[in-house]
Amino acid sequence: MTQPVLIASERGEVGLAAGMAVLRGRGGAGPGRAMDAVEAAIRIVESNEEDHYVGVGGLPNLIGEVELDASIMDGATRRAGAVAAVTGFPHPISIARAVCDLLPQHVMLVGAGAERFADEAGIARGPTLTEEARQMWQDGLTSSGLADAGTRHGPGEVSYRRKVLERIATMPPPAGSWGTVNVLALDAAGNLAAGVSTSGYPWKYPGRVSDSAVIGAGNYCDNRAGAAACTGRGELAIRGGTARSVLVRLAAGDDPAQACAAALRETADLPDEFRSPLQCLCLTPDGRHGGAATNAGATYAVMTAADDDYRVVERRRA
C-alpha cells in the first residue's frame, strides 16, 4: 500500500486536513481516492472568504462579476473535467469533477453552458462576490481612472475595450502570493489526482480563461509520471504548456523541483510585458514532491498520512 500524500500551493493548506481525512478513510470506510481528496480540499479553499483569488470572496472581473475557473484530472485514466468563466456557483471544482465523471465525451465547459450543466448535475448555486471584494474592485477602478467601467460595457464599444486593455496593461503584478490554488494527491492505491481553482487575474477582461481550466497548461496528471499544477500568470503557463512540460521532465528522470524549474524556464523568454510570477508544483507516483517559482520566497504545503499537520516547504527559484 502507498503512503498517501497531499501537497498544496500557498493558501491551499486550509484544505489539507479535509483532504487527508478522505485519503485516510472516514468512519471505518477504507482509504479514499485521490480525486475525492482533491475535490474535498479545494472546496474548503473555495469557501474561504479571506482568500481573494479562489471561490467565494474572489476578486471580480473588470465589470464587477466574479468569474471562476477550475479543473481536475485523474492520473489513473487521464480523464479530466474543466470549467471556465462560471458565475453564481461557489464551488467550480465540483462542476469540473462532474464534467469529468458525468460528461465523458467532453473535457471543458465554459460560461452559460457550464452553469446549465451544473444545474442539471444538482450542484448548488450561491453568492460569490463578497462586499470586501466588491469594494476592492471599486477602489481599484477608481484609482486607475476607470470608475465608470462597470457600467460601460455595451457590445461593440471600442473605446471601452481600449480603456480596459490599457488598464490591464498598466496593472502592477499583485503583491505577495496571489492567485489560484493547486492541490495534488497520491492515494493509498497509488493513484494520483490534480485539482486547480481560481477567480483569476483581478479585474480581468470578462470571459478571460486562465491556465487553471486548461489541461496541459495549469493542470496535468498521469500515474506513469506524476501530477503537476501551476499558479500565477496563467497566460505564460498556457503558452508554455507548463504542467504537461513538468511531467515530460519527470518522465525523463528530473527530480521534482528540477522538473518544475526547467518547465518554468521554458516560459522565461516569452515576450510578455506583464511579467508577473509563475509557479508550479509536482508530486510523483512514489510520493516525492517539489516546486519552483520565478519569484523569491515562494512555498508550498505538504501533508502525509503519517503527519498530524502540514509542513511548509520552499520552492526552488527558477
Give residues in contact with ligand GLY (CB under 6 A): 179-180, 198, 200-201, 210-212, 218, 231-234
How far apart are CB 68 and ligand GLY at their closest, in Å? 11
180 included as an active-site residue: yes
CB atoms near residue 253 (< 10 Å): 8
Which amino acid is it at 70? Answer: A
Smallest distance from ligand GLY to CB 211, Å: 5
**In the complex, minimum distance from the CB of residue 32 to ligand GLY, in angstroms, rounded to a whole number:** 27
Least Å from the CB of residue 116 to ligand GLY: 24
* Nearer to ligand GLY (CB atom), residue 20 or residue 278: 278
Q: CB nearest ligand GLY: which residue?
A: 234
Residue of 87, 130, 180, 267 with catalytic role: 180
By C-beta, is 88 or 274 nearer to ligand GLY? 274
Record the cell numbers describing residue 241, joined without a space.
504548456
Pairing state between β 5-9 and 299-304: antiparallel
Nearer to ligand GLY, 208 or 265 (CB): 208
Indicate the residue among 200 and 285 with the shorter CB distance to ligand GLY. Answer: 200
Minimum distance, C-beta of residue 59 to ligand GLY, in the bound complex (Å): 10
CB closer to ligand GLY, 273 vs 308: 273
What sign does the dihedral 106-107-111-117 (CA atoms) show? positive
> Residue 313's CB: how many other CB atoms inside 10 A?
15
HSE-up of residue 84 (Cα within 13 Å, Cβ side): 18
- Active-site residue numbers? 180
